[in-house]
Structure 1
Amino acid sequence: MRAFQGAHAQVGAPELDTGLNGRRHEDVRTNGADSTDQRLWKPQMAKLLQSPPKFLRSEWAIANKNQYHKAEAQRSKSERLVSESQRLVDEIEKSTRKSQSDVNKKIEQRLEEVRFWKKELDDKLEQLVYETEDLLAYQTRLEKALESLKEPMHITQTCLAYREKRIGIDLVHDEVDEELMKEDEIMQGVKSLLTRTLEETSEQIRLNRSAKYSLEKDLRDKFVALTIDDICFSLNNNSPNIKFSENVVRVEPNSVSLEDWLEFSNTNVEKADKQRNNSLMLKALVDRVLSQTASDQRKQCDVVDTAFKNGLKETKDARDKLAAHLAKSHLLGQMRCEQEVDEEIGCFVLVTLCTGVMEEIASQEKNITVLEKAILDQEGPAKVAHTRLENRTHRPNVELCRDVAQYRLIKEVHEITNNVARLKETLAQAQVELKGLNRRQLALQEEIQVKENTIYIDEVLCMHMRKSIPPRDGDSQGQWAGGLRPDAVC
């Protein structure tokens, strides 16, 4: 190639010289010689009419030698490939026979292993089905226990709502309120506990069914695998149903290793055992929960009933003592009587007291009328005194004397003014007292309504309604209202 380039360079050399000569001829032409222009044109035309360049002898020899070497290399490579192919055929035939024999043994071992795990799964499935059926019965017991809790909760909350309708000072947070709220809290806790236990039972049933589904699916898969491997184990090179398949050696994306397969089967067995043990513990828990909640409800119900009885007695005593005290005060104020008043006077004494207050109101109103009339009666004398003083101011000259009559008239005006002021002060006190009597009358009437309203709420509404609370555990029938089994603890 370098020789070819050198030859090409030699051929091109005259062209370079021609170019130089051309530049010389061009310089001559600038001097204005026509003959020089003709000599310059002839070399340029010769350049355009030249023949293609030729290769050198050395270049030709090198090209042929390259072709010989390439042909020899290709022939040697082909001979080596033929020899290697024969050796490979013999090796693969031997390896194929060995591999097929080894595969048959592995499939046989695999069949035995799958049959073992299938037997384990069958046993666990039978045990799990039995525990799940038992848990369904416990689930029903919990549902009935929750249903039987609705009525007591409604009664307790209704009692609390009724007692919120107490009025005045009787709207007190007493022992009954505390025990009712505690009862509601207990029943809310019982409801929460039963609901949580029911949820745990439902969840355990779901877990059991999930484990059962896993076992059944694993069993179905193992049955199919056994069928397929049995067919595979029976195949040989002369079997009529063998054929080629496309991309048969592909690795399935959902395939697993042998360790994963063993772990999967063992996990299903352990999961079934775990759920079975959890079911046994949960059944014992349900029995304890139902028994304890029923006992707590019954005890608190008795406490609330006792608190109602004590509260009613206390309210009636307070009403009667207040009536007796007010009646005694009235008798001392109006009659100046010091005798004792019986503590068991009752509501009639309060009504009598109200009647006395009303009489006192009428008396005070009459007193106010008298005072107002007395004030009006002072207007005449006051006008006379004022007129006299005004007239005496018109006396002429020295007759305008501050005599005894003048001083007495001035004193009379002051006396009348002071008397009217005293009457007005007394009138104001009487009006204040009248307002106090009116307020006291209203207070007594309201107090009667407050006490009677409280007694009506506790005795008529609440106590009567609480008698309808249905019993649970420990009733006279010896049965549990929310259970399925007559011999159950709850």
Structure 2
Amino acid sequence: MSQGGGATLPLGKLKVDDAHRTTLFTRYTPDDWYRSTLVSFQESNTSRHNSERLRVDTSRLIQDKYQQIRKTQVDTTQNLGERVNDIAFWKSEITHELDEMIGETNALTDLKRRLERALTETEAPLQEVDGILCCQERMRRHLDMAIAQLASDRAAQHELERDLSDKQTAFRIDDKCQHLRNTSEGVSYFRGVEKVDATVSVPESWAKFTDDNVLRSQSERAASAKMRDDIENLLIVTANEMWNQFNKILQEIFQTEMTIESIRKAIKEKSAFLKVAQTRLDERTRRPNIELCRDIAQLRLVNEVYEVDDTIQVLQQRLRDSEDTMQSLVHTKATLENELAIKANTLYIDQEKCMSMRKSYPNTLRLSHRKAHMEDTSICGQQPEAPLHRARAQLPATMLLLLLGILFLHVAVLVLLFVSTIVSVSAGGQG
């Protein structure tokens, strides 16, 4: 009970009211609270575990994808490197074949010029020599064939040069792509570039294209080399034919000289017959009176004079023809001598001057071999030989043979002419 005039409630009554109030206003029991708290804890723990697992999986995914992309980039870089090596290999093949083709084209061009000079030299002054006409016709045919072969060589060379230019551009691009890194300058986005397919070949057709160009060039080079051999043989045959014609001309000159001497001797002999016949006629004109008879002897003497005179005229005409032929033969001989001298000089220039110059400027491979040889000889204490100076100090055997042959034939002709002149003079003195 309370004091101070206020009403007081009994203690039992107060406890009953609190219990009723709790019963009226509490929605969950302690068990509910515990279960709710436990569920919240479990959900929190599950969320934390899920988040942790997601975080770990995401980190692992990032690492895996990074490694995968990095491996893909490394493989792509390796593929680009292999592609660069393939391009470098075919570049080397094309460069080697192109150098060989350029050398072959230059060699055939030089030989074509020699053939043109030989045809020009033998065409104008030697048209009357029948033995060289066949060689001239063959030279014209080979000249046309050489021009056509040069066109084929240049076409193959052009294809090689174009292929080499494309290879150089592709090599530069792929080499740049191979060395691109994530930190390189110039790296940017190019949206949709992976959807553009501008390729026109596959590795098989790409390699076959270059291989076909190289094979075509090799085939044309082989044909060009055979053409050069044929032209060289033709020039040798022409030179031999000119030499044979020169010998025939010398022999014909000797025979013509003998014929001229025989004609002169015959004219001299016929002149004696003419003088006798004319002397007889002149003496018979002094017969007196009726003795000037036109008898058979008179008629025979007149006919004899006409016959001998006609014979002398024919022989003199034949002598003039023989002398004209002799002049033509001498002119042809001089022309052939000049041609043989030119051929000998050409051989000397080609074999000694040009070949020596080519040997003095070797290619890179020959330079490397020569350097290695010089190093070996220097190690052994020997001095390298000088083939260039020895070659320049020697005259070509062909030129010497030609000059000696010309001198020998000149001497033989002079001796024969001298002997024939002495014989004719002695025979005339005895007559």
Report the TM range for the smaller structure's normalisation: 0.3 to 0.5
TM-score by length of 1: 0.43
Ranked by relative contact order (alpha carbons within 8 Å, sequence separation 6 or more), the top structure is 1
Q: Which structure has the larger Rg?
A: 1
TM-score by length of 2: 0.48
